[in-house]
A and B are shown apart, each in its own frame.
Chain A
Amino acid sequence: MFEQLLNAALVILSLAMLGCLYRLLKGPSMPDRIAALDAIGINLLAVVAVLCVQYRTQTYMDTILVIGILTFIGTTAFARYMERGKVIEHGNDESAR
Protein backbone atom coordinates (compact mmCIF):
# COMPACT_ATOMS: atom_id res chain seq x y z
CA MET A 1 0.00 0.00 0.00
CA PHE A 2 2.75 2.40 0.98
CA GLU A 3 4.66 1.73 -2.23
CA GLN A 4 1.55 2.38 -4.31
CA LEU A 5 1.00 5.68 -2.53
CA LEU A 6 4.60 6.70 -3.22
CA ASN A 7 4.28 5.74 -6.89
CA ALA A 8 1.04 7.73 -7.17
CA ALA A 9 2.80 10.73 -5.61
CA LEU A 10 5.63 10.41 -8.15
CA VAL A 11 3.16 10.28 -11.05
CA ILE A 12 1.27 13.32 -9.74
CA LEU A 13 4.48 15.29 -9.28
CA SER A 14 5.52 14.43 -12.83
CA LEU A 15 2.18 15.69 -14.13
CA ALA A 16 2.69 18.93 -12.18
CA MET A 17 6.13 19.34 -13.74
CA LEU A 18 4.62 18.79 -17.19
CA GLY A 19 2.11 21.58 -16.50
CA CYS A 20 4.93 23.90 -15.46
CA LEU A 21 6.80 22.90 -18.63
CA TYR A 22 3.84 24.03 -20.70
CA ARG A 23 3.95 27.44 -19.05
CA LEU A 24 7.73 27.56 -19.45
CA LEU A 25 7.52 26.96 -23.21
CA LYS A 26 4.45 29.09 -23.92
CA GLY A 27 4.54 31.87 -21.30
CA PRO A 28 4.01 35.20 -23.01
CA SER A 29 6.46 37.14 -20.86
CA MET A 30 9.83 36.46 -19.26
CA PRO A 31 8.63 36.48 -15.60
CA ASP A 32 6.13 33.76 -16.53
CA ARG A 33 8.95 31.52 -17.62
CA ILE A 34 10.97 32.29 -14.51
CA ALA A 35 8.04 31.48 -12.21
CA ALA A 36 7.51 28.21 -14.09
CA LEU A 37 11.19 27.33 -13.80
CA ASP A 38 11.05 28.03 -10.06
CA ALA A 39 8.03 25.74 -9.71
CA ILE A 40 9.80 23.00 -11.68
CA GLY A 41 12.81 23.20 -9.35
CA ILE A 42 10.56 22.99 -6.28
CA ASN A 43 8.72 19.97 -7.70
CA LEU A 44 12.02 18.29 -8.55
CA LEU A 45 13.01 18.68 -4.90
CA ALA A 46 9.85 16.82 -3.87
CA VAL A 47 10.57 14.05 -6.41
CA VAL A 48 14.05 13.53 -4.98
CA ALA A 49 12.59 13.41 -1.46
CA VAL A 50 10.11 10.68 -2.48
CA LEU A 51 12.92 8.73 -4.16
CA CYS A 52 14.83 8.95 -0.87
CA VAL A 53 12.01 7.02 0.81
CA GLN A 54 11.59 4.54 -2.04
CA TYR A 55 15.24 3.51 -1.99
CA ARG A 56 15.49 3.76 1.84
CA THR A 57 18.68 5.76 1.55
CA GLN A 58 20.02 8.99 3.01
CA THR A 59 22.37 9.65 0.12
CA TYR A 60 20.06 11.96 -1.79
CA MET A 61 19.38 14.35 1.07
CA ASP A 62 22.31 16.53 0.06
CA THR A 63 20.75 16.69 -3.39
CA ILE A 64 17.55 18.13 -1.87
CA LEU A 65 19.48 20.98 -0.28
CA VAL A 66 21.52 21.70 -3.39
CA ILE A 67 18.47 21.78 -5.65
CA GLY A 68 16.71 24.15 -3.25
CA ILE A 69 19.67 26.52 -3.11
CA LEU A 70 20.23 26.46 -6.88
CA THR A 71 16.55 27.17 -7.58
CA PHE A 72 16.55 30.17 -5.27
CA ILE A 73 19.83 31.56 -6.62
CA GLY A 74 18.69 31.06 -10.21
CA THR A 75 15.36 32.81 -9.70
CA THR A 76 16.99 35.70 -7.87
CA ALA A 77 19.67 36.15 -10.53
CA PHE A 78 17.14 36.03 -13.36
CA ALA A 79 14.84 38.56 -11.67
CA ARG A 80 17.68 40.98 -10.98
CA TYR A 81 18.98 40.63 -14.50
CA MET A 82 15.56 41.44 -15.93
CA GLU A 83 15.09 44.41 -13.64
CA ARG A 84 18.42 46.16 -13.94
CA GLY A 85 20.35 44.45 -16.72
CA LYS A 86 23.04 43.17 -14.38
CA VAL A 87 23.24 40.60 -11.63
CA ILE A 88 25.88 41.94 -9.23
CA GLU A 89 26.14 45.65 -8.50
CA HIS A 90 29.35 47.35 -7.48
CA GLY A 91 29.33 50.41 -5.24
CA ASN A 92 26.18 52.13 -4.00
CA ASP A 93 25.07 54.22 -6.92
CA GLU A 94 21.81 56.12 -7.01
CA SER A 95 19.94 53.71 -9.28
CA ALA A 96 20.37 50.83 -6.85
CA ARG A 97 17.59 52.05 -4.57
Chain B
Amino acid sequence: MKALGELSIGLLILVGALFCLLSAFGLIRLPDVYLRSHAATKSATLGVLFVLFGVFLYFMFYLEHVSAKILLGIVFVFVTSPIAGHLNGRAAYRTGVPMWEKSVRDDYKDAVEVRERN
Protein backbone atom coordinates (compact mmCIF):
# COMPACT_ATOMS: atom_id res chain seq x y z
CA MET B 1 0.00 0.00 0.00
CA LYS B 2 2.81 2.36 0.84
CA ALA B 3 4.55 1.52 -2.43
CA LEU B 4 1.36 2.28 -4.37
CA GLY B 5 0.94 5.67 -2.68
CA GLU B 6 4.56 6.58 -3.26
CA LEU B 7 4.23 5.52 -6.88
CA SER B 8 1.21 7.73 -7.48
CA ILE B 9 2.83 10.72 -5.75
CA GLY B 10 5.98 10.20 -7.82
CA LEU B 11 3.89 10.07 -10.98
CA LEU B 12 2.17 13.32 -9.95
CA ILE B 13 5.56 15.01 -9.56
CA LEU B 14 6.77 13.55 -12.86
CA VAL B 15 3.70 14.82 -14.71
CA GLY B 16 4.31 18.29 -13.27
CA ALA B 17 7.91 18.20 -14.46
CA LEU B 18 6.71 17.13 -17.93
CA PHE B 19 4.37 20.13 -18.03
CA CYS B 20 7.34 22.38 -17.20
CA LEU B 21 9.32 20.79 -20.06
CA LEU B 22 6.36 21.39 -22.39
CA SER B 23 6.29 25.06 -21.43
CA ALA B 24 10.03 25.37 -22.10
CA PHE B 25 9.44 23.77 -25.50
CA GLY B 26 6.74 26.37 -26.24
CA LEU B 27 9.08 29.12 -25.05
CA ILE B 28 11.64 28.00 -27.61
CA ARG B 29 9.40 27.22 -30.56
CA LEU B 30 6.56 29.75 -30.61
CA PRO B 31 6.95 32.73 -32.96
CA ASP B 32 6.43 35.93 -30.97
CA VAL B 33 6.51 37.39 -27.47
CA TYR B 34 2.81 37.15 -26.75
CA LEU B 35 2.48 33.51 -27.74
CA ARG B 36 5.66 32.67 -25.86
CA SER B 37 4.43 34.33 -22.71
CA HIS B 38 1.21 32.32 -23.07
CA ALA B 39 3.27 29.11 -22.98
CA ALA B 40 5.58 30.26 -20.21
CA THR B 41 2.85 31.55 -17.92
CA LYS B 42 0.09 28.97 -18.12
CA SER B 43 1.65 25.57 -18.48
CA ALA B 44 4.67 26.29 -16.27
CA THR B 45 2.27 27.37 -13.53
CA LEU B 46 0.21 24.20 -13.92
CA GLY B 47 3.35 22.04 -13.80
CA VAL B 48 4.65 23.71 -10.66
CA LEU B 49 1.25 23.36 -9.01
CA PHE B 50 1.35 19.62 -9.76
CA VAL B 51 4.85 19.28 -8.27
CA LEU B 52 4.02 21.28 -5.15
CA PHE B 53 0.79 19.35 -4.62
CA GLY B 54 2.68 16.07 -4.86
CA VAL B 55 5.23 17.28 -2.32
CA PHE B 56 2.40 18.40 -0.03
CA LEU B 57 0.73 14.97 -0.26
CA TYR B 58 4.03 13.19 0.46
CA PHE B 59 4.71 15.24 3.57
CA MET B 60 1.12 14.81 4.74
CA PHE B 61 0.89 11.03 4.34
CA TYR B 62 4.42 9.78 5.02
CA LEU B 63 6.13 12.34 7.27
CA GLU B 64 3.05 13.35 9.34
CA HIS B 65 3.49 17.01 8.63
CA VAL B 66 0.76 19.15 7.07
CA SER B 67 2.82 21.91 5.59
CA ALA B 68 1.10 25.29 5.54
CA LYS B 69 4.13 26.76 3.79
CA ILE B 70 3.68 24.53 0.75
CA LEU B 71 -0.02 25.43 0.64
CA LEU B 72 0.90 29.10 0.85
CA GLY B 73 3.41 28.60 -1.97
CA ILE B 74 0.72 26.93 -4.13
CA VAL B 75 -1.71 29.80 -3.56
CA PHE B 76 0.99 32.41 -4.13
CA VAL B 77 2.20 30.93 -7.42
CA PHE B 78 -1.37 30.43 -8.58
CA VAL B 79 -2.24 34.07 -7.90
CA THR B 80 0.90 35.91 -8.95
CA SER B 81 2.03 34.08 -12.09
CA PRO B 82 -0.84 35.33 -14.32
CA ILE B 83 -0.33 38.86 -12.97
CA ALA B 84 3.34 38.79 -13.91
CA GLY B 85 2.52 37.43 -17.37
CA HIS B 86 -0.09 40.12 -17.93
CA LEU B 87 2.26 42.93 -16.86
CA ASN B 88 5.00 41.56 -19.09
CA GLY B 89 2.69 41.33 -22.10
CA ARG B 90 1.38 44.85 -21.59
CA ALA B 91 4.91 46.22 -21.29
CA ALA B 92 5.83 44.38 -24.49
CA TYR B 93 2.88 45.90 -26.36
CA ARG B 94 3.49 49.42 -25.10
CA THR B 95 7.18 49.35 -25.96
CA GLY B 96 6.28 48.36 -29.51
CA VAL B 97 7.39 44.76 -29.76
CA PRO B 98 5.93 43.55 -33.08
CA MET B 99 3.32 40.81 -33.27
CA TRP B 100 3.71 37.75 -35.45
CA GLU B 101 2.95 38.61 -39.08
CA LYS B 102 0.23 35.95 -39.24
CA SER B 103 -1.68 37.35 -36.25
CA VAL B 104 -5.25 38.14 -37.27
CA ARG B 105 -6.63 40.26 -34.45
CA ASP B 106 -5.44 43.13 -32.27
CA ASP B 107 -8.10 44.28 -29.82
CA TYR B 108 -5.77 46.28 -27.60
CA LYS B 109 -4.91 48.63 -30.49
CA ASP B 110 -8.57 49.72 -30.73
CA ALA B 111 -8.70 50.32 -26.97
CA VAL B 112 -5.57 52.46 -27.09
CA GLU B 113 -6.97 54.51 -29.99
CA VAL B 114 -10.26 55.14 -28.16
CA ARG B 115 -8.39 56.29 -25.08
CA GLU B 116 -6.19 58.64 -27.09
CA ARG B 117 -9.17 60.18 -28.89
CA ASN B 118 -10.85 61.11 -25.61
List residues of A whose CB falls within 8 A of some B CB: 1-2, 5-6, 8-10, 12-13, 15-20, 22-23, 29-32, 34-36, 38-39, 42-43, 45-46, 49-50, 52-53, 56, 58, 61-62, 64-65, 68-69, 71-72, 75-76, 78-80, 82-83
Q: Is the interface of A mostly helix, strand, loop or mixed?
A: helix
What's the least CB distance linking A52 to chain B, in Å? 6
Are B94 and A12 neighbours in the complex by a CB distance under 8 Å? no
Are B21 and A16 neighbours in the complex by a CB distance under 8 Å? yes
Are A31 and B97 neighbours in the complex by a CB distance under 8 Å? yes
What's the least CB distance linking B99 to chain A, in Å? 12
Please tell me which one of the listed residues B20, B85, B87, B89 contacts residue A12 in the complex, with CB atoms under 8 A apart: B20
Residues of B within 8 A of A72 (CB): 76, 80-81, 83-84
Residues of B within 8 A of A82 (CB): 91, 95
Are A36 and B11 neighbours in the complex by a CB distance under 8 Å? no
**Which residue of A8, A13, A36 has the most chain B CB atoms within 10 A of its CB atom?**
A13
Given contacts A16-B24, A79-B87, A50 and B13 within 8 Å (CB-CB):
yes
11 residue pairs of the A-B complex, CB under 8 angstroms, read A2-B6, A8-B14, A12-B21, A16-B21, A29-B97, A38-B88, A45-B52, A53-B54, A53-B58, A69-B76, A82-B95
Are A65 and B69 neighbours in the complex by a CB distance under 8 Å? yes
List residues of B whose CB falls within 8 A of some A CB: 3, 6-7, 9-11, 13-14, 16-18, 20-21, 23-25, 27-28, 33, 36-37, 40-41, 44-45, 47-48, 51-52, 54-55, 58-59, 63, 65, 67, 69-70, 72-73, 76-77, 80-81, 83-85, 87-92, 94-95, 97
Complex Cα distance A5/B14, Å?
7
Are A31 and B92 neighbours in the complex by a CB distance under 8 Å? yes
What's the least CB distance linking A95 to chain B, in Å? 12
Residues of B within 8 A of A36 (CB): 27, 40
Complex Cα distance A15/B20, Å?
9
Are A35 and B85 neighbours in the complex by a CB distance under 8 Å? yes
Are B20 and A13 neighbours in the complex by a CB distance under 8 Å? yes
Are B28 and A19 neighbours in the complex by a CB distance under 8 Å? yes
